Amino acid sequence: MARLVIRGRNRLKGKVRIGGSKNSSVAIIPAVLLGEGESTLENVPAIRDVKVFAQILKDLGALVSLNENTMTISPNGFTSHVAPYDLVRKLRASYYLMGVLLAKFGKAEVGLPGGCDIGPRPIDQHLKGFRALGADVSVEGGVVRLYANKLQGAPIYLDIPSVGATINIMLAASMAEGTTVIENAAKEPHVVDLANCLNSMGARIKGAGTDIIRIKGVKSLKGTCHSIIPDDIEAATYMMAAVATGGDVEVSGVITKHLEPVVAKLREAGASIEQDGDFVRVIGPDRPNPVNVKTMPYPGFPTDAQQPLTAVLCRARGVSMVHESVYENRLGYVSELVKMGANIKVQGRTAVIEGTDRLVGSPVTATDLRAGASLMVAGLSAEGTTDIYRLEIIERGYESVVEKLKGLGADVTRVEE
């Protein structure tokens, strides 16, 4: 166990390079198992979720090597359709093994996923998709069992534009017979990244990034070399940290288009933002303006950036409203911000934040990944020392977080318990 100790109020200054997208990596790493040859993935972030996934693939018999940010995966020896439960429960994205194992072997046994504790996260849309493709689906004792003699392409309408269901159906349908059409598909950048990767393996997927994705099944897929897109949420977190501390930070190695909803809100909050090519420079105001925001599927304001934005707004000059519309219960972490002097009232899915001019460092606990990011942003702008317990949760999704913050002039230390 470790904690992050932050002595706050340093204005962050300098340049930070953003790593590969966590959410893309956890879809693409299992996806390349569908290829018949070896694949090389570049720009893979050195984070815990990636390491756990690499271990799961090894347990399934694949050969995996990780050298800095390059991962090589060879499916030779990958013969098991049963995913090891003790690792699967550690990360939510392990549900992508359902689509992969079903496409590869026509059967899969995968424990129900773990991951962040942010309220109920059903997978009914994933299972509906597998059934539509012709699979028998049963869920018993926390294990999902899938079986199909053959997968047959089908039209699938998603009740909600679920990222996970869209990706899982793309994976399962990539080698099905005939054409699958996903309507009301998720449009997140990592859905597009996965489609690009699968297409480079020989898949025939069109429309990723729009509401309708068409997948024409192919007989086989080959290995590939693919570079993971930059992590928009890591970038958003450093942008928020710059605003919260009145800093001047250049966030580099990003796709600026993916950051538009965040840029728009931070400008409303009073930040001055320049962007060009692959970087965004954020200059924070002394104290932010209050803003109202509602989280939405892409290209709306991302739910994963809601928690760090709330931390920024704790010090705004006025009242902000943050409405969480993607998840039923993603505001639990505010009680930790309140310990730091934030004035927040939660009404249903809305947080009403009355800005205060000072947050005070306190011992707090990261209850989930983005809650941890929120506490980090709050701690950087608070007076005194903030101890964030369960730093491992933050390290699930933030590469070299201590080093990157230090590089921006933050006074932070990792302490092993």
Q: Is residue 351 helix, strand or coil?
A: strand
Concerning whether 197 is annotated as a catalytic residue, the answer is no
When asked if residue 307 is in the footprint of ligand UD1 (CB under 6 A), the reply is: no
Shorter beta-carbon distance to ligand UD1: residue 90 or 126: 126
Shorter beta-carbon distance to ligand UD1: residue 111 or 361: 111
Which uninterrupted H or E stretch holds 110? strand 107-111
Shorter beta-carbon distance to ligand UD1: residue 72 or 184: 184
**Neighbour count for residue 125 (Cβ, 10 Å):** 20
- Picking from 6, 5, 9, 7, the residue whose alpha carbon sits closest to that of residue 246 is 9
User: For the CA atoms of the chain, what is the radius of gyration?
Assistant: 21
Instruction: Please choose, out of 55-63, 155-163, 211-219, 379-387, the segment that lies near ligand UD1 by the rule CB under 6 A.
Output: 155-163
State which of residues 123, 146, 185, 340 lies at the interface with ligand UD1 (CB under 6 A): 123
State which of residues 81, 126, 258, 265 lies at the interface with ligand UD1 (CB under 6 A): 126
Instruction: Please choose, out of 64-72, 120-128, 205-213, 336-344, the segment that lies near ligand UD1 by the rule CB under 6 A.
Output: 120-128
- Cβ 154 to ligand UD1 shortest distance, Å: 17
**Neighbour count for residue 158 (Cβ, 10 Å):** 19
- Cβ 296 to ligand UD1 shortest distance, Å: 9
| Site size with ligand UD1, rule: CB under 6 A | 21
Residue 72: burial class (beta carbons within 10 Å; 0-12, 13-18, 19+): middle
User: What's the CA gap between 249 and 65, in Å, rounded?
Assistant: 34
- Cβ 417 to ligand UD1 shortest distance, Å: 27
When asked if residue 101 is in the footprint of ligand UD1 (CB under 6 A), the reply is: no
User: What's the CA gap between 230 and 207, in Å, rounded?
Assistant: 21
Which uninterrupted H or E stretch holds 372? helix 369-381
**Neighbour count for residue 23 (Cβ, 10 Å):** 25
When asked if residue 156 is in the footprint of ligand UD1 (CB under 6 A), the reply is: no
**CA atoms within 13 A of residue 366's CA, in its CB half-sphere:** 32
- Cβ 158 to ligand UD1 shortest distance, Å: 8
User: What's the CA gap between 132 and 180, in Å, rounded?
Assistant: 9
When asked if residue 124 is in the footprint of ligand UD1 (CB under 6 A), the reply is: yes
Shorter beta-carbon distance to ligand UD1: residue 238 or 270: 238
When asked if residue 386 is in the footprint of ligand UD1 (CB under 6 A), the reply is: no
Shorter beta-carbon distance to ligand UD1: residue 232 or 250: 232
Q: Is residue 293 helix, strand or coil?
A: strand
Site for ligand UD1 in 159-178 (CB under 6 A): 160, 162-165
When asked if residue 208 is in the footprint of ligand UD1 (CB under 6 A), the reply is: no
Instruction: Please choose, out of 39-47, 62-70, 121-129, 211-219, the segment that lies near ligand UD1 by the rule CB under 6 A.
Output: 121-129
When asked if residue 230 is in the footprint of ligand UD1 (CB under 6 A), the reply is: no
Q: How far is CA 296 from CA 125, 323, 409, in A?
A: 18, 10, 33
Could you tell me if 32 and 41 are in contact, meaning their C-beta atoms sit under 8 angstroms apart?
yes
**CA atoms within 13 A of residue 53's CA, in its CB half-sphere:** 34
Residues identified as active-site: 116
The site for ligand UD1 (CB under 6 A) is made up of 23, 26, 92-93, 121-126, 160, 162-165, 186, 190, 303-304, 326-327
